[in-house]
Structure 1
Amino acid sequence: MIENASFEGPPATSTAPPGWFDCNLHSTADTQPGSWLVDKAPSDGNSYISLVTRGRNNSFNDGYTEAISTTLLESLQPGVCYRFTLDLAFFAQFDGGSTGGQGTWGPAKLKVWASTGSCAKSVLLWESDAVTNQEWQPYEFSFAVDKNYSHLVLEAGYVGSDIYNGNILIDNLRLRSSQVQVDDVLICQRGDVATLRVDAPGASIEWSTGATEDSIVVSEPGRYWVKVEQSGCVVTDDFRVGYKPPLRVNLGGDVTGCTGDSVVLDASIPRGKYAWSTGSTDPAITVRTPGTYRVRVEDECGYADEDEIAVTFAEQCCLVTAPNVFTPNGDNINDLFQVSTGTNIGRYRLQVYNRWGKLMYESDDLTRFWDGHAPNGQEAATGVYFWRVDILCNRSNQTGTNSFKGTLTLLR
């Protein structure tokens, strides 16, 4: 989530490593080692950074604290628990040039900010105590945010109320996310159970059932929630358990293909079992001869349903067929006005008008059909509508654009 998290780059005075930007032009970060007598080896990779606080040195930058910022590869988001780890150290022999030489520097602390822009420091995520260890030491903290943040800022800070010359060395950042998510679950019938689990090692877990383990077994439909707390960071998720509805198989409207072509009939569902009238047990079959094809599908709950479809093949290809009635009432039966065009269509456009000539629907996508809504998103009124389809057929014996027109009745 952090670009150049170990501050790799050529060591240089007053120069932030690639991917990072100085927030204070009066006092800028250094890519170490090699500047101001700093010779400590990195804790990770080949380089790291130093940030300083400025004291009273009779200099233009007295009282300034150094900070750097980076754009996160992925913005921080609400509802996610983040864990941040980094290595910090203090360098006692630091020589800041204008500060009177080595031996005059004290430990600083580090502030970590989230921001909506470079160097904005919108919300303080964490503030360390004085970093006094002169060897690299790992630090870590967890946090959550209440809105999206796109940038991260690291800032050196004074320990106490007085200003002074201080320094802090930083290396090996790691930012990880752990979002709690339990998907909705459908169980087959009363007496069946589902096991729900969260992956959060070492966390404190509480379910709406009162359980505190990392998984629960549920057998009743309803709304449930889980709360996970780890290192002071709390995230929650809610989910639904319901009964799986009876299976409904829909092969779509009858199909007209072109002679010499093939038509694919698809009845696939997750973990289904299939029995086609052709003897196939595959989820989908390819047919090249006219006829009526039937399929029986059984789902994992043992629910079964059947459907059939008539397939014809025409010498004059690209004929359009369409129903004259459709019922978009949400019962998953005849809910769409589906136009059948066969195969080998090079260009296609469907338009639907009301009886006053107002365009209600338009599409050039063969896989999309009118669902009975007006352009403003409201349900179209029941009544008679007019449709037009313009197609360009790719077959050699068909040239130019063919137009087809008809009427349909919308019922609810």
Structure 2
Amino acid sequence: APTTALEDGVTYYAGMVDNVTGCLSSSLLGVTAHFRTNNPATINGGLVTTCVLTSVTYTTEPNMDNYVWSVSNGGQITAGGGVNDDFVTVNWQQPGANSVGVEYSNSLACNLVSSETLSLVVEICVEGVSSDPCLTVYNEFTPNEDGSNDVFTIKCAEFYPNNKLAIYNRYGNLVFQTRGYKNDWKGISNVSNTFDGNVLATGTYYYTFETGETENVTKSGWLFIMR
């Protein structure tokens, strides 16, 4: 009937009626009713703080149209984020204030556009706390061969002969790794790829240091190379 109230998710059928016989055609057209309201967009899946070099997946309302995802300079999209994607995965590579945003249109709500932006802080997270006050990381060094502060120094590293050191650039790429670190790294990559043997440029990098003992302690944070 013309005044029948449609229900969301219900399939309705229509057919041709013969004006002479009043008979309904054997072929019917089925139409399923879907109602969409233009509710505000939301972004789910992430916290307001996260750790540097961490990947986080964010989601928004599904089944919308023309998704446009945006990420601040501190993050890199590694999955999703396309015009048909209701999700995006971001690897956060730079500490500080960052954001992820989404915009989409709703074709069943007169193509109204909804948008949302999530602000967050990316932090350098330190895992593990050493009971040895001697174990100290000196975050900045100047490998210019002047005999002063030329190497990346971790005080008392020599007391942990099974230690493991890994260095990453701001894109999350491993650029240096070693076991039994002896405070002798001068900012040169040793990874078997395009970085191997490269003198690393001035800038911020990130390290993880594992003591490798029975009660393993992992320290992580940033370091700065100044040339």
TM bucket, shorter chain: 0.3 to 0.5
TM-score normalised according to structure 2 size: 0.37
TM-score normalised by the chain length of structure 1: 0.21
